[in-house]
Structure 1
Amino acid sequence: MGWSRFGGGIRVAVLACALGTAGSAAARPPGRLWLEAQNRAVSRQHSNISDVARKAMPAVVSITTRQDLAEVAPGEEPQRGIGSGFIIHPDGYILTSAHVVDGASEVTISIRSANGYVEEFPATVVGEDERTDCALLKVDAPRKLPVLKLASASHVGIADWVVVIGNPFGLAHSVTVGVVSYVGRTDVTPNGRDGDFDYLQMDASINPGNSGGPVLDLHGDVVAVANAVNVSGQGIGFAIPIDIAKTVIPQLKAHGRMRRGWMGISVQDFSPEVAQAFNLNPRGRGVVVTDVVEDGPAARAGLRTGDVILNMDRLSVARAHTLRWQVAARGVGQHIRLQLRRLGRPVTLKVKLEDLPLVESAPSTLASGGTPGERAAGARSVLEELLSPVPRTQSGRSGGIPKAEDGLAAP
């Protein structure tokens, strides 16, 4: 405690420091400015990583593909590709990335047996979905095969440990370890492909051939599928949350593709620019309907340009890409209830979802509302919803390594 003299001869006591409560300050030795942590053993979260890898390896497969001969130029040899996958059902169903098998006329699966030797089986592509980059394969094995259990990426947090097993550069059953760097990464587009997912970013090493391999938590369960790598730097890899694949797999088995629910609208995240274009409260929330396909499901239900969607079936809608995925995953023929705000008033509408058209022209209503910039942006987002993305194939690329675009490549 020190003393200071102010005008009028009044002396007051001035505390040198007042950190925390009086009780905690009294317990702190003189001169210490910090809070002392308890001395306790640090939990060795990584102590069972070797067990996780060892137990998972029998269910991880290496994939080799051969280019369709119809795509081979005269005088050239068919290209071969490599990738990874993992068994999800003892009857021989395997999950991998769609770009691993896209454009291939032959797909071969290599499995390590319980005795340690490698068995090869021809595989059939049951179905694939380019937009989520998921593919389901099937092999006919003479026995029941070991499987990996699928968990959920929802319990994965930043700095959690993950284990990646795959076939980088043809080196089967290679194990890398790292931590989750970010969850919900949506601002990346490998090879310019639009996607229906939030990437899991991690620093575990991912290389060409890792695509389709499992990303495991420390329980040995799959939380994501290795998918993309930043080719301009090390320590940045991306994986698709397994929750996305769990939605797609049943449709791939039943239909050979994902039949997406479709409303026929273009939506954008709420922003000051969008709010100004549609005369909305700039402090609002939700996603803004920037265009409606004429005679589409949404138009028939009564949705209009400028409507702000707040909830879908009582689930809050905060991002446009989230709404698009929720609608797609709901499925064809299903009904959804939208809570929205129109001209400041609450409105509830019921929409019956239809199958996403494979080929569709741009809506005729694109000229309505907003500036040319907003209308152009609306046209782009409509087309993103209507059209399938450009396929990511390994055909014709040496070693099966796709061309890198925007700094990212599918490994």
Structure 2
Amino acid sequence: MGTFKIEGGHQLKGSIQPQGAKNEALQILCAVLLTSEKVTINNIPDIIDVNKLIMLLGNLGVKIQKNGPGSYTFQSDDVNLKYLESEQFKEEGSGLRGSIMIVGPLLSRFGKGYIPKPGGDKIGRRRLDTHFEGFIKLGAKFRYNREDYFYGVEAKRLKGTYMLLDEASVTGTANIVMAAVLAEGTTTIYNAACEPYLQQLCKMLNRMGAKIKGVGSNLLKIEGVEKLGGTEHTMLPDMIEIGSWIGLAAMTKSELTIKNVSWENLGQIPDVFRKLGITIERKGDDIFVPAHKDGYEIQNYIDGSILTISDAPWPGFTPDLLSIILVVATQARGSVLVHQKMFESRLFFVDKLIDMGAKIILCDPHRASVIGHDFTSQLKATTMVSPDIRAGISLLIAALSAKGTSTIHNIEQIDRGYENIDERLRAIGAKIIRM
């Protein structure tokens, strides 16, 4: 189990380049299974979850060529479907939540798709019903082996249909879209997720020859085609990492420039941080965060009531940044209620922040009230364990702002989502050592 030692209380300075988007990568990589032609993908983040998926594709028989840092070419012209029934696949597929998205492409192109119950973050129950209900509506037969926690869907040829999703699941929508592009007839998906990473997937599929209309809305119409061709795709910068660096700059009173952020795809992220009183300036396609020497003040609502920041499907505020918002609020002037609606265990890491001296009341598994210190009292260094990716980066930000030397164990959770984070932080002045 890896460990970070962090000497907190230092101001940082410089610029940082966000990695390619993790959540986009997991969708885009699975889409290479839809064609026998070459697909080149650029700006792939070098992180554990993505590398596991690339390894899984290789074991499935996909030819993989590394072109350079973050750039790969994939060709799925000799897929080994027998691997799906192997013990090796059961082990490797269960270690990665993103592996669920190979099912749609495999079902659509080869008539069958299997997956063990996927792993990933321990942030509460994350249902797979939306995925499989969509496949069933397209004509697939579903089976589930309770003893092995193994799911399977099979169909000779999928047929287009109308479906209203029970939730705007991003991975569910992506999986169903990838299944529908090669189905017979027209598929209409209402209450579809519409976040930028899903838009990227749809745009890539259209370049490959798919016929998807309504991209960017919650109503997608997909006219099935016989086959798809190759393409080249470059992934967006990771909006969660961008939000993490904004929070880091504010908490450490640092002057930071975040490079090439793709402003048009950030949605509400800049405005939500501004509601916490953080100054964010647009400079071309960069974000500039000045040093907040006098701190930052949370805005109340117009009637004077306490601000609530909550998550919602896109274009609402992403749940992956609520942990960052909560940490940043611990040093603000004023109070805020953080309402995590989508996952019931994501706020349980606040006990670590309370140990560090933060004033937080955990109301229930979904809500936490934060009373900011206004930097009159620094957080205290402590020893912590990272429970998941987003809580892990939040604790790391807290440690970098705290007085003294903190230790964070189980940093593999942070490495799952953040590329070479210790090296990149040292480059802007952070005192962090990987043990």
Same fold (TM over 0.5): no
TM range (shorter): under 0.3
Question: Could you state the TM-score of these two structures normalised by the residue count of structure 2?
Answer: 0.25
- Structure (1/2) with the larger helix percentage: 2
Larger RCO (CA within 8 A; separation ≥ 6): 2
Q: TM-score, normalised by structure 1?
A: 0.26
Larger C-alpha radius of gyration, 1 or 2?
1
